Amino acid sequence: MLILVKVAFLLLLFMLVYLVLNRLLQSIVRHSATRYRLNYVRRGTFANRVAHLASKYNWLYRHLTDLLESIQARFHIGTFLFVSLLLLLTGIIGGFVCFNNFKGVVSAGGMLGLLPYIVLRMRLLGRQMKARLDFLPAVELFYQYYIVSGQSNIRTALKVTLEENRMQPAMKPVFEQLYRNLTTSRDTEDSLRVFSISLGHMWADYFANILRVGLLEGNDLCDSMKELISDMRRAQRSDQAERNRLLEIRLANFSSILFLLLFLFINFKINAHNAYLYYIVDPAGRNMLLDALLLIFASFLMGIYLSIRRM
């Protein structure tokens, strides 16, 4: 275990030194007149090398890319993987320092390493819940302008829908991203897959399938859109109930953290010295805190899983 911690410490130290030197080099090159050198440095960053390594695992690379694009993240997948690796190494070292056992090393490393992915998933779920009730008005608006535009071009209907600026704020970025992807050289399947992930419910999948048929085969969408809108109107009450359940799951996730903080606050308030000796100095107390953090982390994972199933 000590060897693992030493390797993690050396890797973390190397990555931090590399990051500092790389930023310093980029700031120097940025003032240079040679753009080729600047682009070379950008292509040669460690984050891009990590992304290139991850691209060999096609399912993982596509999954993370779709998640980042669905929340319209401003950072690259290489940066995401770089930060995850940094946190993983930090967790391994911190677990050894704080708990000095194999369980602490593995638990702290795993929790910190997965933290960026958990934050990414929670952010996506938050966007999906905000846009859930606004999806039906957005589809109705698109259907109106699709009829007005002569039922000929889906991209034109999307453009007119966005230009009229009548869409809800939670939905407009999603449709703007869809229109932007469809009007560029992006593959249609990729564009519709990102759109479905951004919304995350079955109605978005149905709508994406209707658009897929219209874009690839050139079929008229009127009948399918009418049926989709009528089904969504009938299911409005159940959609509201599902959204309430999703909110309950999120509240349950964060309540465990509040209860832990309240428990520690009460113990330190009653007897700060004994609480310090038990929770900080005593290995048994630290192990109990580690178990509590593991249970909280597991509850977040279970909450994300249940939220995805409820969508």
pLDDT in tens, 110-130: 999 999 999 898 888 888 888
pTM of the prediction?
0.80
pLDDT digits (tens, 9 = 90+) for 211-250: 998 888 877 888 889 999 998 888 877 777 777 777 777 7
The residues, ordered by sequence, that sit 6+ positions from 243 with a Cβ below 8 Å of its Cβ are 129, 132, 133
Alpha-helical runs (H) found in 31-101: 35-43, 46-54, 58-70, 77-99
* pLDDT score of 100 more than 50: yes
pLDDT digits (tens, 9 = 90+) for 13-45: 767 766 666 666 666 655 544 444 444 444 445
- The confidence score (pLDDT) of residue 42 equals 47
Question: Where do the structural domains in the chain lie, given as residue ranges?
Answer: 2-125, 135-234, 239-310
Residue 221 burial class via C-beta count within 10 angstroms: exposed 0-12, middle 13-18, buried 19 and up: buried
* pLDDT score of 307 more than 50: yes
d(CA 307, CA 65): 21
User: Length of the chain, please?
Assistant: 311
Alpha-helical runs (H) found in 184-282: 188-199, 202-217, 222-234, 236-270, 272-276
Q: What is the CA radius of gyration of the chain?
A: 25
